[in-house]
Structure 1
Amino acid sequence: MRNVIYGMNISIDGNCDHTNSTPDEELYDYFTHQMDDVDLIVYGRKTYELMIPYWPDVEKAQSGTKAVNEFAERHNAIDKVVFSKTLASADGNTRIIRNDLETELLKLKQEPGKKISIGGVSLRSQLMALGLIDEYYFVVHPIIAGEGKRLLEDVVLKENINLKLVDAKIFKSGCVGLHYLKV
């Protein structure tokens, strides 16, 4: 069965607003390397509309640094699924699923392939509540944001999710990458 992974940049106080942190070259290399084991990205509509056309535009224009451009290329090459009842169409290698999230994600997990990466905040909270996330990657940035959306503020769990730390990496910027498996 394929693992579902979730990764997020957060501040020390748990803020997950992407405007509070700016990944550097080393972090983009880290994120790109994570995609080596991924062959499907799953988004909700809002995150999909943020990521597309942003990353395709970066790749086409080669408008980022070397590491940013490499991440864009890797991201764009991976097939995508967007869960949405309202999105009219999807671009490129993306298909829309309008059915029940739990049922459809369980089907995706049963298909042959590599890991499934999920993106977004509301999709993540739904999948956490359903117990369908197998691995977590958190990059904690050395900043205290003080306000904004907190990573787990909207998560309602039936029971605790126990995790095992399997890797930790300290970056030159002071960020810490943490990789956890659900036990």
Structure 2
Amino acid sequence: MRKVMFAMNISIDGCHEHTHFNPGEDLMDYFTGLMQDTGVIVYGRKTYELMVPFWPEVAKNRTGRPCDVAFADAMTRIEKIVLSRTLENADETTRIVRGDPEGLIRELKQQPGEKIAFSSTSLLPRLLEAGLIDELYLIVHPVLVGENKRLFDNFLVPEKLNYRLEYTRLFKSGAMALHYQKSE
């Protein structure tokens, strides 16, 4: 069965607004490594519109640091699905799914292949509550933001969900990657 991972940059106080972070080369290399064993990326609409067309353009035009181009290349090659009721069009490598997020993830998990990267902060609570997130990669940046939405603001767990810490990694910026696996 395929595993579903969720990876996100957050501040110490849990803010996930991307404009507060400036990942160094070592962190970009880390995210590129996560893409190496990913077979499909499932986005929510907002995250999709943040990532595409930005990263495909970096891959096409070879703009940015070498680590940015490497991430863009790795991310662009992966099949993409965007969960949205409102998105009208997506690029040619992306499929729009308007239905049941939990059902889609359950179906994808049963298919052979590499990991599923799930990337939607608004749908994360639903998938956590359904027990469908197998791995959490939380990169905590050494900054207190004090504003914007927090990653787990709307998460009301019906019962305790246990994860075990697999590893940590410290980056030159002081950011810390925390990799958690769901405990069975």
TM-score after normalising by structure 2: 0.95
Query: 2:99 matched to which residue of 1?
Result: 99
Is contact 2:24–2:172 with CA below 8 Å preserved after alignment?
Answer: no
Letter matched to residue 86 of structure 1: T
1:1-183 alignment runs, 5 A limit: 1-183=1-183
TM-score after normalising by structure 1: 0.96
Q: Could you tell me how far apart the structure 1 residues matched to 2:65 and 2:117 are?
A: 24
Shift of residue 123 of structure 1? 2.0
Gap regions ≥5 residues in structure 2: none
Is contact 1:43–1:123 with CA below 8 Å preserved after alignment?
Answer: no
Shift of residue 36 of structure 1? 1.2
Which segment drifts farther, 36-45 or 87-96?
Answer: 87-96
Which segment drifts farther, 46-55 or 105-114?
Answer: 46-55
Letter matched to residue 84 of structure 1: S
Letter matched to residue 97 of structure 1: V
Letter matched to residue 103 of structure 1: G
Q: Could you tell me how far apart the structure 2 residues matched to 1:147 and 1:50 are?
A: 20
> 1:26-66 CA distances to partner (integer Å, 9 max, x unpaired)?
00000000111101000011211221111111112212100
The runs of 4+ residues in structure 1 deviating greater than 3 Å are: none
Q: Could you tell me how far apart the structure 2 residues matched to 1:13 and 1:45 are?
A: 25
Equivalent pairs: percent with the same residue?
49
Q: Could you tell me how far apart the structure 1 residues matched to 2:25 and 2:118 are?
A: 22
Shift of residue 110 of structure 1? 0.3
Gap regions ≥5 residues in structure 1: none
Task: Give the superposed CA RMSD.
Answer: 1.1
Aligned length: 183
SS in 2 for 1:122: coil
Residue 103 to residue 58, structure 1, CA distance change in 2 (3 Å): same
Shift of residue 164 of structure 1? 0.3
Is contact 2:163–2:180 with CA below 8 Å preserved after alignment?
Answer: yes
SS in 1 for 2:145: coil
SS in 1 for 2:6: strand
Q: Could you tell me how far apart the structure 1 residues matched to 2:75 and 2:182 are?
A: 25
Is contact 2:80–2:94 with CA below 8 Å preserved after alignment?
Answer: yes
